[in-house]
Amino acid sequence: MMKKVGTTGNVLIFVFLIIIASVYLPYYSLLDEIRTFLTVSTFLFGIIAGFIIASRLSRYSRYRELLTNETGYLITLYQYAKLVDAKFAKKISERIDEYLVHGFLYEVYEYHGETEKQFNSIFSEIRNFNASNSSQSGILAQMQAMLKDMLKDREELYLLGKDRVTFWLKTTLVLLAGLILYSLFLIRTDTTYSFILTILLSTSVVIVLFLVSDLDKLKLYSLAMSYGIYFRVFDAIEKPRLYTNVSLERGLKLPKDFSYRFGRIKRKKGKTSYEKIELVKK
């Protein structure tokens, strides 16, 4: 299977194309005719791009905060379960593990809409446990309260994942970027200074477009955010960490000093699933 080109790869491809265009396209030097046109396009592009980036960064920060809350709750649930009963703690560990393993099939910004069954199984395990004393009842009540908070956070995570920049706003931004690039090539001259400036400004515009796209998709891939916080949960519930072929493609390295699980993810007819998950012992 061909490996997908990431944002960095796409930017480098565009930079290469810009350099080729700068070298081989004819020089027009239409500074006076294009100056107003370029100024207006750049002004509008800056306003729209700045607005989108500010709103997307705020959304991204909130999403990261909610993910941290969720993983913290999962670890706390297991620690509380250990205070109730060893067998009960093992069941909670299994349910949390199933929830995380299934979630790894999806992107970090979309798995909350795909893991309702696994999340509800954690709730059911707690609800169906029969407390034998007041201490257990008190702990179970606290666990149920945490799950209710998690339900609220999951709803917000789901909505944040669905909150996207509108088609028309994206189209406007792309059109303005195209106009800016076109104008830059019309006003460039055959001097080295103009050549370098055209490449740098064109590259900056392209980077802004990809930044907006990644922010909108919540795809600023931080390995700590996408995998690290969940690995901490696996460690806390005493389950081997799960690595996948997708995580390796994004730069994660397989451990050499402890056992782990490896799952190969496949996508068939629009559905994502594991081909198999195997334990790799060290």
Helices (H), the chain: 7-24, 31-84, 86-103, 116-127, 134-162, 167-187, 192-216, 223, 229-236, 245-249
Asked, for residue 9, whether it belongs to a domain, the answer is no
Same-domain pairing of 251 and 120: no
Q: How far apart are CA 111 and CA 222, in angstroms?
A: 16
In tens digits, the chain (282 residues) has pLDDT values of 334 556 777 777 877 888 887 777 777 767 777 888 888 899 999 999 999 999 999 998 898 899 899 999 999 999 999 999 999 999 999 999 999 999 999 887 778 888 899 999 998 999 889 888 899 999 999 999 998 899 899 889 888 888 889 899 999 999 999 999 988 888 888 888 888 888 899 999 999 998 898 888 777 556 667 788 899 999 999 999 999 998 888 888 898 889 999 999 988 877 888 998 999 987
Does the CA dihedral 268-270-271-273 come out positive or negative? positive
Tokens, residue 24: 């081989």
Please state the φ and ψ torsions of residue 82, each to the nearest 5 degrees: -65, -30
Give the model's pLDDT for residue 29.
67
Domain coverage including residue 254: 240-282
Same-domain pairing of 233 and 244: no
Please state the φ and ψ torsions of residue 5, each to the nearest 5 degrees: -80, 130
- Provide the residue count of the chain: 282
Same-domain pairing of 83 and 107: yes
Domain termination site, one of 239, 254, 270: 239
Note the pTM of the prediction, 2 decimals: 0.80
The distance of Cα 244 from the centroid of its chain, to the nearest Å, equals 16
Same-domain pairing of 97 and 197: yes
- In which element (H, E) is residue 273 found? strand 271-280
Asked, for residue 189, whether it belongs to a domain, the answer is yes
Same-domain pairing of 232 and 275: no
Same-domain pairing of 96 and 161: yes
Same-domain pairing of 154 and 235: yes
Tokens, residue 148: 């209710």
Same-domain pairing of 190 and 266: no
Asked, for residue 17, whether it belongs to a domain, the answer is no
Total number of domains in the chain: 2
Same-domain pairing of 230 and 270: no
Asked, for residue 169, whether it belongs to a domain, the answer is yes
Give the model's pLDDT for residue 187.
83
Same-domain pairing of 265 and 247: yes
Angle made by CA atoms 166, 168, 171, in degrees to the nearest 5: 110
Q: What is the β-pairing status of strands 260-268 and 241-244?
A: parallel
